[in-house]
Amino acid sequence: MTRFIFVTGGVVSSLGKGITTAAIAAILEKRGLKVAIQKLDPYLNVDPGTMSPFEHGEVYVTEDGAETDLDLGHYERFSDASVNKYSNATTGSIYSEVIRKERKGQYLGKTVQVIPHITDQIKEAIKQGAQRGTDVAIIEIGGTAGDIESLPFLEAIRQFGQEQGKGKACFVHLTLLPFLRASEEMKTKPTQQSVGRLREIGIQPDILVCRCERPMTEEMRRKISLFCNVVEQDVIQEQDVETTIYEVPLDLVREGLDASLVRHLRLEDTPNPDMSDWEDLRERFRNPKGEIEIAIVGKYIQLHDAYKSIYEALAHGGAGHQHKVRFRKLEAEEVLDEGPEKLLAGVHGILVPGGFGERGLEGKIQAVKWARENGVPCFGICFGMQAMVIEHARNIAGIEGANTSEVDPDCPAPVIDLMDEQRDVSDKGGTMRLGAYPCRITEDSRAAALYGRDMVLERHRHRWEYNNHYRDTLEKSGLTSSGVYEAKNLVEIVELTDHPFHLGVQYHPEFKSKPLAPHPLFLGFVEAAIAQKDASSNPSSSKQVEA
Ligand code: GLN
């Protein structure tokens, strides 16, 4: 029998609701429970796939090819909860389903309304998200209590909770305790008001998680408990972390959140969590043996969330080697304008992430060239891999006019080209090559050494592909194809063998990296960057070693 936890947010957005939800999953798993997580987003897009990264941050792709909210990335990084196309629903997806049913005449002549038809569809989506065999389904509601567009979702979870009955559902509300510098105190009023909004709708939170800069005093806890009608032990402090978001599960266990949750869900007989792997991880983040600097040469650099999973995967790779990874975030266009040497000098590795459209491509190509010529580790992902292929084609293989037909449809040598099955696609939503595909790894390649396996499953999100017409020329001039999707003979990995690290992948390995299990390619890239740092800070000794 599945229990349900609903996580809502109040006061302001960007409180870290996704991370808190993910951390709840992590600590319940440590109590031996099987967890599913779902995000309900109140916006009208059917999914975030058509939104600009500036608007919404990264689009996170699930194994089964759904384009979803980036919070699902947190869920998968923190937990083993399976996340799939049912794990993210939006106002858009709910309404389109209801409208589809209405057109089919499935409402039997009724007036179709927000309550009960939209709310019923939301409840249906919650049940689908829970999946068979789940002990606890955690549902995060996007937005902030009081938003107009969240109302149907809040009404639906209110009904859902009531239908489940006591001990089967639990409402967690995340709020902010702002610290006022002028009066040197933390304020509880916004929390009281936010809980007030929820209670107007009919939801009495069982647990309050209070985000705060400084520790919450016992007096504040008493006050919040009294005004919000939540017992003191269920008023949980979630203070800003010291070094990394991966401390959150530990902090929440220390504050007793897992105990509160299992009490409300009548799961007290589950064992106390053993958090030793998370403790070990925290140590590796807190006491790094060294530090490296990685340049990210992208197009959506101003917004950290636009490459969220990439930054996280780099941090995981760093923690795996007990190193801190600093990011030098560079606009690809600036690399082109100012020259790579000026902006890239001194970095220990360069990561060229995915992207779409013309802007920034030539800058990415310049960065790849600089990395190749200077022996600096370079890791290309998706559009970044395509930039590596174009750079090699133009500058090593001597393929005149090499480009991607995405940017120049009439270029003389489209070394990156559209797959035939993509040529007639006109809809933008959900039509790319999406989700996990198997990739056969070539023996004796760097990819093989890093993966330690000859077959991997990695997630895709793109339309264009390496063009096999140029494969022979590219390979003969040194660009090894070290991974292939055999069913369609598509090159998925390219690399230079005589370089410290020059590797590009058509897929998105960052989606499968976890702090407790860093992705092998990110571990390998960070390792190469550490070696680059050691060599550059101690050139004479590295020469001696070579000699
Ligand atoms: N724009 C490229 C394509 O569609 C790369 C996409 C990406 O980097 N995610 O093939």
pLDDT tens for the chain, 547 residues: list them.
Answer: 899 999 999 878 778 899 999 999 999 999 999 999 999 999 998 888 888 877 788 999 999 999 998 999 999 999 999 799 999 999 999 999 999 999 999 998 899 999 999 999 999 999 998 988 899 999 999 989 888 999 999 999 999 999 998 899 999 999 999 999 888 888 999 999 999 999 999 999 999 999 999 999 999 999 999 999 999 999 999 999 988 999 999 999 999 999 999 999 999 999 999 999 999 999 999 999 999 999 999 988 888 889 999 999 999 999 999 999 999 999 999 989 999 999 999 999 999 999 888 888 999 999 999 999 999 999 999 999 999 999 999 999 999 999 999 999 999 999 999 977 767 666 666 678 899 999 999 999 999 999 999 999 999 999 999 999 999 999 999 999 999 999 999 999 999 999 999 999 999 999 999 999 999 999 999 999 999 999 988 765 444 444 3
**97 Cα to the center of ligand 1, angstroms:** 29
- The pTM for the full model equals 0.93
Type of residue found at 47: D
| Catalytic site includes residue 382 | yes
Nearest to 83 by CA among 20, 143, 21: 21
Pairing of strands 433-441, 479-485: antiparallel
Q: Is 221's C-beta closer than 6 angstroms to any atom of ligand 1?
A: no
**Residue 381 CA: distances (Å) to CA of 15, 182, 211, 409, 525:** 30, 47, 35, 22, 12
Using the Cα atoms of residue 145, residue 146, residue 149 and residue 154 in order, give the sign of their dihedral: positive
CATH code that applies to domain 289-417+466-481+493-537: 3.40.50.880
CATH code that applies to domain 3-281: 3.40.50.300
Pair 160, 171: CB distance under 8 Å: no
Question: Counting atoms of ligand 1 from 1, which one is nearest the CA of 381?
Answer: 8
Q: Is 354's C-beta closer than 6 angstroms to any atom of ligand 1?
A: yes
Question: Counting atoms of ligand 1 from 1, which one is nearest the CA of 461?
Answer: 9
Q: Is 356's C-beta closer than 6 angstroms to any atom of ligand 1?
A: yes
| Catalytic site includes residue 510 | yes
Angle at 26 between CA 20 and CA 31, to 5 degrees: 130
DSSP 12-56: SS-S-HHHHHHHHHHHHHTTT--EEEEEEE-SSSSSGGGS-HHHH
Ligand 1 pocket mutation, candidates 351, 415, 461, 506, criterion most atoms within 8 A of CB: 461
Q: Is 461's C-beta closer than 6 angstroms to any atom of ligand 1?
A: yes
Pair 295, 328: CB distance under 8 Å: yes
Residues of the chain with CATH 3.40.50.300: 3-281
Beta partners for residue 88, in sequence order? 39
| Catalytic site includes residue 378 | no
Beta partners for residue 326, in sequence order? 293
Catalytic option among 382, 391, 460, 462: 382
